[in-house]
Structure 1
Amino acid sequence: MVTVIIPAAGQGKRMMRGGNKVFLPLVDMPVLLHSVLTFSACSEVDNLVVVVASDEVVQVQTMLCNLTGIKPWKVVAGGSERQHSIANAIKVVPSTTKTILVHDGARPLITEECITNVIKASVVHKAAIVAVAVKNTIKTVDEDGWVTDTLERRKLWSVQTPQGFDAHLLRKAYEQAEKDQFVGTDDASLVERLGVRVKIVCGCYDNLKVTTPEDLTIAEALLKERKSMVESKGCDNNEMMRVGMGYDVHKLVKNRKLILGGVEIPYELGLDGHSDADVLLHAIKDALLGAAALGDIGRHFPDTDIQYKGVSSLFLLKRVGEIIAEHGYLVHNLDATIVAQRPKVAMYIPEMNCNIAAALGLKIGQVNVKATTTEGLGFAGKGEGIAAYAVASILQVE
C-alpha cells in the first residue's frame, strides 16, 4: 500500500496575495487540487493525507468532497513547521502502508510517470527523491557578499518532491528527529541522519514549486501547453511512427576531455574527434536523422567545417531536434547504450538523461541511457576507445 502525504499548510508570504497559496486558482482549479488529481490518477497510489492549517481543514474537506474520482483521503491539521505538519500526517497513515510519499501541495505540475518512478525506486532502495541536475554554476558566499567557493556543478542536484520512503524507515526518522529536536530542510535529510543512502530519481524541470507570482504565471503557461498537446494528439489520426538506429565509436587519447551525454567525466583520457567527440550524442543524433531519412551527422555537420571544431554535441543535438521538427517530426523516445570498459559511467547517467531531454524538449521518461562493458574483449574492452548504440523513434505528423 502506498500513502501520499501532501503538506499544504504554508502561509505563502512570498506570493504576496494573502492567504494560503494552494487555494489560488490555476487554469481551472486551485493549485492544491492539481496534485490531488494527479496522485489519484496513479494506479500505484492507495490513499492521500492532506495537511493544512487548523482553520483550513473544513475548507479543504469541502473541496475534496466535491471532487470526483479521487483516492480515499484524510485532512489533518498541520503544525508550526513543515516537519511538524508531516509528523501529524504520519500518525494517521494506515498501518498497512508499506511506502509513504511526501509531495509539496504547491507543486501542481507533477506527472504520473514521475510518481511511478519514485514509488519503484522507494521500494527497491527504501528512500528515493526526485531531483534535477543543476544548470547554473553555484557559489558559496560569506555574510559580506564575497564568494568563498565555487561548487562542482556535476555533483549538485536541485531537490524536488515527491520523496518516497519505506514507511517504517520514515517513521523511525521522524521519531529520532523529534528526540534530537532536529529540524531538517526536507524529509530525506531526516532519513540521511540515520545513515541511510537516498537514491536520486531524475525529475522534470517543469515540476516547479509555486512560491512567487512569477511561478504561478509559469505554471499556468505550462499547464495550458500540456492541455493543448493532449487535445491536439487526441484529434490527430495521421501520426506515423518511424525508427532509426545510430552507432559511433571514438578513440581514447591523452590531453582531451571525456564528454559523454554532455557530462564531463573525470578520466585521464578523452575521446578524439573534430567536435567534443561525445560518442553517445553522436549515436543519438544519427539515430534521429536516420529515423527521418535525413542522412547522418556528417552530412549536416561535416568535420571539414571549421565552425564545428570543438563544438558542444549538446548544441548540435538541439539543432538536430530542430531539423527533425522542420521536417514535420516529433521525437517519441530514445534508447542508447554506452560501451566502455572504463571509466565507470553509471553514476553520471541520470545527468546525461536530463541533458538529452532538455536539449530535445522531452520528458525524462522518454530518454533511457545505459552502459555496459565488453568483458575485456575488443577495442572497448582494452580501453582503447568507447562506442555507443542508439535507437530513436519519431512521429511524423502530417
Structure 2
Amino acid sequence: MRSKSIAVIIVAAGKGERAGSGDSAVPKQYRPVAGKPVLSRTVDACLAHEAVSHVLPVIHPDHAELYASLGLADPRLLPAVPGGASRQASVLEGLKALAPLRPDRVLIHDAARPFASPDLFGRVITALDQHDGALPTLPVTDTIKRSLDGQLVATTEDRRQLFAAQTPQGFRFGQIFSAHMRTGTVRREFTDDAEIAEWAGLRVAMVEGERNNIKITHPEDFTRAERIAMADLGTETRIGTGYDVHPFAPGDAVWLCGVKIPHTAKLQGHSDADVALHALTDAILGAIGEGDIGVHFPPSDMRWKGAASTVFLRHAGDLVARLGGRIVNLDVTIAAEAPRIASHAPAMCAVIAETLGISAGRVAVKATTNEKLGFIGREEGIVAMASASVEVPRVD
C-alpha cells in the first residue's frame, strides 16, 4: 500500500496590519524574528516533518517580490500562488492549486505561527487516520464572560468545555476541498477551516496544542516570538563597548547619532566624523567579536570619504542578524561642552532605532560636559562612549 501524500498550505496572504509596522512597513510575515523572517521560519517548520510531501505558500498578490527576496528553496516547496480577499478565499485558492497533485491529506497552517513543532504536525497527521479532520487546541484557562452589549456580563461560560484553536488544521483533501467549494452558496465568513468542516458535517478531532505555537498578531507578539526563537537556539548575552574621539575643525555643524546639529565648528574625520555612531558601531562589533570599525571601513579607502556613519552602524546590525542574534539594548554617552545635545536625544534614538530595525525603547542617548576640564573642556573636540548588549546563539 502506498504511503499517503500530505500537502501543507501556508496562508500568508494577509497584510499583517494589526501587528503594526514597527520600524518599517513590511508585513508581519516578512519581518525578522531573531534575524530570520517569520514566513521563512514557518516554511521550515512545515518542511521539518518527513511525511510532508508538498508545501504551498499562498501569498498576497502584491507581495511577490517580498516572497522572492526570502530565497526559499526545497524540492518539496511549490511555487507560491496569489491568495484572495479573505483568509477563506486564500485557502480555497491554495486547494485549487493543489488539486492536480491529488494529495490524500492537506494541512492548513497560518504563516504567523512559525514555531509549530514536528511533533505537533505529527499529532494532527496521525489523528487523520481515524477522523475527517483534526486541529491542535489548548484548554482555556481564563474565566470567560459572555456579554450581549459589551458592557454588562450576561453569563459566565463553562471553561471546561472551551478550547483555543491553533493550526495546522488537517483534513482529508477531497472532503475539505468540497466543503470549501460549497461555502460559496452561503453568505458567511468562517473563522477557520475547522469551522467549515463542522458546517459541512465532518468529524473534527482535537489534539494537544503547544503553548509556543503562538500566532503573531499584535506588535507585542514579536517580543514573545523573539524570546521563543532565542530560547530554541540556546543563546548567550554578550556586551561590547566602544570609545571614539574627534577634534573640531572649521565648519558650521556636527553630525551626532545621525542628526545634524548646527554649531560653530564641525568634527574632523574621514567620513562624516559622527563620533557617537563610531563608538556605537565599535560596541556592537565588539559584542560579536568582529573587530572594530577600522577593520570593516578603513580610513584609507576613499569609498568612505564623507560617508554617512549610519552605513557603518547598519553593517554592524546586519552582522548581528547573520549570526541569528538580536540587539537587546544600546547606550551612548556623548561628552562635549558644546553644542547642547540633550534636546536632540529623542531624534538620535529614532535614527539609531530605524537604522538597526529595533524599537527606540532599546536605545539610550545621554549627554554630559567635562566641567571645563581637558581638551573637551577647552572645546577642542568631542568624546563618545557606548555599550551594546546583544543576544546570539550559544557556541560551545
TM-score range, shorter chain: 0.5 to 0.7
- Check if 1:223 corresponds to 2:259: no
1:15 maps to which residue? 19
Quote the Cα distance in structure 1 between the aligned partners of 2:8 and 2:138. Answer: 21
Give how far 1:182 is off: 2.7
Q: Which residue of 1 aligns with 2:86?
A: 81
- The aligned counterpart of 2:133 is 127
Aligned partner of 1:35 in structure 2 is 42
Distance in 2 separating the partners of 1:33 and 1:205: 20
Q: Is the 8 A contact 1:40 1:70 kept in 2?
A: no
- Residue 156 of structure 2 is aligned to residue 166 of structure 1: no
Structure 2 contact 113–213 (Cα < 8 Å) conserved: yes
Offset at 1:68?
4.5
What is residue 187 of structure 1 aligned with on the other side? Answer: 193
SS of aligned partner of 2:155:
strand
Cα distance in 1, alignment partners of residues 75 and 48 from structure 2: 7
Partner of 2:97, secondary structure, is coil
User: Is the Cα contact below 8 Å between 1:8 and 1:52 reproduced in 2?
Assistant: yes
Residue from 90, 96, 117 that aligns with 1:91: 96
Partners of 1:77 and 1:69 in 2: CA distance: 19
Structure 1 counterpart of 2:153: 147
- Count of residue pairs brought into register by the alignment: 227
CA offsets 1:13-33 (integer angstroms, 9 cap, x no match): 221203411011101210011
Q: Structure 2: which 5+ residue stretches go unaligned?
A: 236-396
Query: After TM superposition, what 4+ stretches of structure 1 lie above 4 angstroms from structure 2?
Result: none
What letter is aligned with 1:127?
Answer: G
Q: Residues 243-263 of structure 1: CA distance to partner in whole angstroms, max 9, x if unpaired?
A: xxxxxxxxxxxxxxxxxxxxx
Candidates 94, 100, 114, aligned match of 2:106: 100
Q: Could you tell me the TM-score, scaled by structure 1's length? A: 0.55
Structure 2 distance, partners of 1:47, 1:218, is: 29
Pairing of 1:1-398 with structure 2 (within 5 A): 1-17=5-21, 18-63=25-70, 66-69=71-74, 71-93=76-98, 94-228=100-234
Q: C-alpha displacement at 1:155, in angstroms?
A: 0.7
Distance 1:4 1:57 in 2: 19
> 2:30–2:66: 8 Å Cα contact kept in structure 1?
no
Superposed CA offset, 1:268-312 (max 9, x none): xxxxxxxxxxxxxxxxxxxxxxxxxxxxxxxxxxxxxxxxxxxxx
Is the Cα–Cα contact under 8 Å of residues 13 and 60 in structure 2 kept in the other structure? yes
Could you tell me how far apart the structure 1 residues matched to 2:106 and 2:69 are? 25
Q: Does structure 2 conserve the Cα–Cα contact (< 8 Å) formed by 1:104 and 1:162?
A: yes
Is there any run of 5+ residues in structure 1 with no aligned partner, and where? 230-398
- For 2:74 and 2:105, the matched residues in 1 are separated by 22
Sequence identity percentage: 32
AA at the equivalent of 2:166:
Q
Tell me if the contact between 1:4 and 1:48 (Cα under 8 Å) persists in the aligned partners: yes
Report Cα offsets for 1:55-74 as digits up to 9, x if no partner: 112431342xx335562312
Cα deviation 1:134-160 (Å, max 9, x = unaligned) = 111111112251011111111100001
| Residue aligning to 1:364 | none
Q: Is the 8 A contact 1:51 1:76 kept in 2?
A: yes
Distance (Å, rounded) in 2 between the aligned partners of 1:92 and 1:144: 41
Contact 2:137 2:164 in 1 (8 A): yes
Check conservation: 2:61, 2:83, Cα contact below 8 A.
yes
2:136 alignment partner, SS class: strand
* Amino acid paired to 2:228: L
Measure the CA separation in 2 of the matches of 1:8 and 1:68. Answer: 17
Describe the superposition over 1:299-351 as per-residue Cα deviations: whole angstroms up to 9, x where unpaired. xxxxxxxxxxxxxxxxxxxxxxxxxxxxxxxxxxxxxxxxxxxxxxxxxxxxx
State the 1:202 CA deviation.
0.7
Larger RCO: 1 or 2 (CA < 8 Å, sep 6+): 2
Q: Are the equivalent residues in 2 in contact too, given 1:130–1:163 (CA < 8 A)?
A: yes
CA separation of 1:213 and 1:144: change in aligned 2, threshold 3 A: closer
**Pairwise CA RMSD:** 1.5
**Paired residue secondary structure (1:223):** helix
In our comparison, the structure showing a higher alpha carbon Rg is 2
Contact 1:121–1:199 under 8 Å retained in 2: yes
* Whole-Å separation in 1 of the counterparts to 2:216 and 2:228: 12
